[in-house]
Chain A
Amino acid sequence: MSTEDTLGQAHAPPGEHRPRAADTAIVVRVALPHQLRHLARLRGEAVVEVTPPVTVAAVVDALEAAHPPLVGTLRDRETGRRRAMIRIYADGEDYSNAPLTTELPPVVVSGREPLRLVGSIAGG
């Protein structure tokens, strides 16, 4: 399994992501579909703390740790792959098929915008 086709769980090779100088947790906002907010008993966005680098995988790891009912709903438990009908958007860009070690854009890392996990359109 490559590190690029899993949503977290597998991580980049050691040394690839060296801690930044100020290795403090970053607060990241996450927008979830209504049904997952309800499952996690969230009224609005989730807020999670992520140790840099702030990647999609790291955010989902933190989200699952904070809200265990979400485990298995965003990524396949066995393979770690993003579930087929989950899309991942940040700063107006589609990160769904980007390498999951890709760092998220500054507007998400700074907390100005949420990472958006979206249920894809299916059916009429």
Chain B
Amino acid sequence: MGGVRVLVGTSKGGFVLTSDDGRRAWEVEGPLFGGWEVYHLAGSPADPDRLYASQSNGWFGQVIQRSDDGGATWDAVGNDFAYEGEPGTHLHYDGTSRPWELTRVWHLEPSATDPDTVYAGIEDAALFRTTDGGHSWSELTGLRTHETAPSWAPGAGGLCLHTILPRPDDPERMLVAISAAGVLATDDGGESWRLANRGLVSDFMPEPEAEVGHCVHKLARHPARPDVVYMQKHWDVMRSDDDGASWHEISGDLPTDFGFAIDVHAHDPETVYVVPITSDEQHYPPDGRLRVYRSRTGGHQWEPLTDGLPQADCYVNVLRDCLAVDALDPCGVYLGTTGGAVYVSPDEGDHWTPIVHDLPRVLSVEAQTLP
């Protein structure tokens, strides 16, 4: 079979884009679940035809869909994301305490080895897991009951658990990221958690180097170098060389270090991609030019990638789950915008082409490299 399947979640449905290894000609299928928000579509690394989708809206709540045939057909599976025990409270924007309440599933992270096992990161921030293909979900309560949880407060997008990063060499060890609490780490499969924010500095907090409260936007790492973790924070691009135990800034010569998305080249752990966004008050690229920045040196030195991307009058955003890579050679890079475009670069970011121009607001992009 071969080729690539790109899974696109948008504000009005899901889309599946497929191509052969050349990544020049694309078939577009969708919308799936038309009219619903699809925050995330994800495929199982253990079975690429097993897909999961988070489908939600304000009227009808949360639905999880599953496909066993690569997206040709879908079935609604379990949607019972009940917090275990007394949910407790977290801080709200206005400083009052609010009970934990499910809004939606932000991110689905299928196991690398078992198609029936998937982690789900939800808003309000908690981590759930299914081991039966999505029919039932159980909370890993140690995270939400962390001693600092009552002090967690939402970022602009809500109190969302948006990143789940199991180590490929030891899935019991994971990092998760929550806006706006920061990074937490577990060594025991999610039973217990510790903060992993040392080195982060956030000037919007009264104590900028506090242990918790950082608005971490996205984490990424290369499977061959699991100790190295890259982070796009609210402001600052960061790097850890010790699996999140400490962080240092690698923003270097970026035009702005605000942004949402970050990803790592499939074949080179030192090649990293970010999409700089003007500021937290101006969620669009600097100068109206959509530029991906690539570092070949693990940070600090960055080069703009512009060929094929709009370089005038462009005021879209690129959200945190909207940058992805495939595992072909050369590595393909994918980018989705709030303006409804999905771009592909089949050559590591050197040249870009839109696959689609006019989808709804793109919420997530995942690239599956098919066997």
Interface residues of A (CB under 8 A from B): 33-36, 38-39, 68-69, 71-74, 76-78, 83, 85-86, 119-120, 122
Q: Looking at chain B, what size class is its interface with the partner chain?
A: 10 to 19
Which of A34, A35, A72 is close to B62, meaning CB atoms less than 8 Å apart? A72
Given A35-B36, A85-B58, A122-B58, CB of A69 within 8 Å of CB of B82: no
B59 touches A72 (CB 8 A): no
- Annotate B78-97 by CB proximity to A: 1 below 8 A, 0 otherwise: 01101000000000000000
Which of A33, A34, A69 is close to B63, meaning CB atoms less than 8 Å apart? A69
The answer for the CA separation of A35 and B35 in the assembled complex, in Å, is 8
Output the nearest chain B residue to A73 by Cβ-Cβ distance.
B60
**Inside 8 A of A86's CB, which chain B residues have their CB?**
59-60
The answer for the CA separation of A78 and B139 in the assembled complex, in Å, is 15
The answer for the CA separation of A73 and B76 in the assembled complex, in Å, is 12
B252 at the binding interface (Cβ < 8 Å):
no
Chain B nearest CB from A78 CB (Å) reads: 6
B61 at the binding interface (Cβ < 8 Å):
yes
B76 touches A83 (CB 8 A): no
The answer for the CA separation of A21 and B60 in the assembled complex, in Å, is 37
Chain A nearest CB from B107 CB (Å) reads: 19
A83 touches B61 (CB 8 A): yes
The answer for the CA separation of A37 and B80 in the assembled complex, in Å, is 20
Give residues 39-89 of B contacting A (CB, 8 Å).
57-63, 76, 79-80, 82
**Inside 8 A of B61's CB, which chain A residues have their CB?**
72-73, 76, 83
B35 touches A69 (CB 8 A): no
B62 touches A119 (CB 8 A): no
B80 touches A77 (CB 8 A): yes
The answer for the CA separation of A74 and B36 in the assembled complex, in Å, is 15
Chain A nearest CB from B190 CB (Å) reads: 22
The answer for the CA separation of A33 and B356 in the assembled complex, in Å, is 30
**Inside 8 A of B36's CB, which chain A residues have their CB?**
35
Chain B nearest CB from A1 CB (Å) reads: 15
The answer for the CA separation of A119 and B36 in the assembled complex, in Å, is 13
A73 touches B63 (CB 8 A): yes
Given A77-B82, A78-B82, CB of A33 within 8 Å of CB of B76: no
The answer for the CA separation of A72 and B36 in the assembled complex, in Å, is 15
**Inside 8 A of B59's CB, which chain A residues have their CB?**
33, 35, 83, 85-86, 119-120, 122
The answer for the CA separation of A72 and B80 in the assembled complex, in Å, is 8
The answer for the CA separation of A38 and B61 in the assembled complex, in Å, is 15
**Inside 8 A of A122's CB, which chain B residues have their CB?**
58-59
A36 touches B80 (CB 8 A): no
The answer for the CA separation of A72 and B61 in the assembled complex, in Å, is 7
Chain B nearest CB from A104 CB (Å) reads: 22
A71 touches B79 (CB 8 A): yes
Q: What are 30 A-B contacts with C-beta separation under 8 Å? A: A33-B60, A34-B35, A35-B35, A35-B36, A35-B57, A35-B60, A38-B34, A39-B60, A39-B76, A69-B76, A71-B79, A71-B80, A72-B61, A72-B63, A72-B80, A73-B60, A73-B63, A74-B60, A76-B61, A77-B79, A77-B80, A77-B82, A78-B82, A83-B59, A85-B58, A85-B59, A86-B59, A119-B59, A122-B58, A122-B59
